[in-house]
């Protein structure tokens, strides 16, 4: 399905030719799988996303104590697993500072893979997605190897993010080399590979650019700055000059979706990114009112679904090259392609 779409020209070639045109068939990026319908980062969630027409599935990656990459959005797992119900792990509860934020709970890096595999996933947002709780306790935490196997079985790509790379390097668990080694073992080490590697940090992407030919995506948020201090702010990174600097090491930009708009007016971000030779994959399109742009909310209940279809179509109208969504079926409808 999506592999032809993944073979877009790389940023360096595009820059030589001038401004790049929007992708003919924008990527549907399954954000943590079909996480609007299944607990995030589970094989059930990724499988559901593939069934609904996702081109790529997104595993956020953190390392175990024995340096195995597993799929969790954060290394603190009390919200997404049943770890608190395991008395044998009660003494693992601790407080750590991650990227300047103090967190208390249970952390992946304090567990071996064998120990983690005794836990079961649960829905992270039960108040907003109560139907997903029907899968609580049924799914294990998947490894990167298991996600790769699933993707290859179904001929889709993957879009991994190494979470908190500076933090993990500081505690002796660098993740970039682990990721590159596993991708290479899977036969993926070129710009033609159905893989994108993403990060909110900068230096690890620059380091990855020397380690692999796989396409890299610089994530940026509407506020704040990279945790590694490599840029003064995300705002500085999305100026025309900043985007040209990003294009020296990255294939594309992953902006927070709010950065595409000023009220109902499009910002120049998509245009400027294309002018710099960067593809644009905004995040994250979710159906619940609480996550939608006010223009697309329906009613006043935070958990009620609004017009996600309309919000994605508005972004597609700007010429984005792909988009992260918790609801791949709606993404497929917005792109005008029927789900399998």
**Residues with catalytic annotation?**
31, 73
Q: Helix, strand, coil proportions of the chain in percent (round to 5)?
A: 35, 20, 45
Q: Are strands 265-266 and 60-63 parallel, antiparallel or unpaired?
A: unpaired
Tokens at 202, concatenated: 């900068």
Report how far residue 315's alpha carbon sits from residue 77's, in angstroms, rounded to the nearest whole number. Answer: 33
Report how far residue 178's alpha carbon sits from residue 68's, in angstroms, rounded to the nearest whole number. Answer: 8
Question: Are the C-beta atoms of residues 236 and 229 closer than 8 Å to each other?
Answer: no
- Rounded to 5 degrees, φ, ψ at 84 are -65, -20
User: For residue 152, what are the contacts with CB-CB under 8 A and spacing of at least 6?
Assistant: 186
End-to-end Cα, the chain, rounded Å: 9
Report how far residue 197's alpha carbon sits from residue 217's, in angstroms, rounded to the nearest whole number. Answer: 6
User: For residue 4, what are the contacts with CB-CB under 8 A and spacing of at least 6?
Assistant: none
- Rounded to 5 degrees, φ, ψ at 119 are -85, 165
What is the full DSSP assignment across 115-139? HHTTS-B--S-TTT-GGGGGGTTS-
Cis, bond preceding 284 (omega within 30 deg of 0): yes
- Element holding 313 (H helix, E strand): helix 308-316
């Amino acid at each position: 399905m999506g592999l032809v779409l993944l073979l877009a020209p790389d940023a360096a070639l595009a820059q030589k030719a001038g401004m790049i045109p929007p992708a003919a068939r924008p990527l549907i990026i399954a954000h943590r799988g079909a996480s609007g319908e299944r607990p995030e980062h589970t094989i059930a969630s990724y499988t559901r996303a593939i069934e609904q027409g996702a081109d790529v599935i997104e595993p956020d990656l953190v390392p175990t104590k024995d340096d195995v990459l597993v799929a969790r959005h954060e290394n603190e797992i009390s919200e997404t697993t049943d770890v608190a119900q395991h008395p044998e792990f009660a003494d693992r509860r601790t407080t750590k500072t991650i990227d300047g934020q103090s967190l208390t709970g249970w952390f992946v890096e304090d567990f071996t893979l064998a120990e983690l595999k005794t836990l079961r996933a649960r829905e992270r947002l039960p108040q907003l997605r109560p139907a997903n709780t029907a899968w609580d306790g049924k799914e294990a935490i998947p490894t990167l190897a298991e996600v790769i196997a699933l993707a290859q079985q179904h001929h889709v790509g993957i879009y991994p993010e190494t979470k908190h790379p500076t933090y993990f390097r500081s505690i002796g668990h660098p993740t970039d080399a682990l990721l590159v080694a596993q991708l290479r073992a899977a036969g993926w080490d070129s710009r033609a590979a159905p893989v994108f590697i993403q990060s909110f940090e900068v230096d690890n992407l620059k380091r990855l650019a020397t380690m692999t030919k796989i396409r890299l995506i610089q994530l940026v948020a509407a506020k704040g700055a990279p945790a590694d201090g490599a840029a003064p702010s995300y705002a500085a990174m999305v100026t025309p000059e900043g985007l040209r600097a990003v294009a020296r090491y990255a294939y594309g930009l992953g902006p927070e979706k709010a950065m595409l708009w000023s009220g109902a007016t499009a910002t120049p971000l998509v245009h400027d990114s294309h002018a710099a030779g960067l593809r644009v994959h905004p995040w994250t399109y979710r159906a619940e009112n609480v996550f939608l742009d006010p223009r697309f909310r329906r009613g006043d209940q935070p958990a009620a679904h609004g017009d996600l279809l309309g919000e994605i179509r508005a972004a597609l109208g700007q010429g984005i090259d792909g988009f992260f969504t918790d609801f791949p079926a709606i993404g497929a409808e917005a792109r005008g392609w029927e789900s399998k």
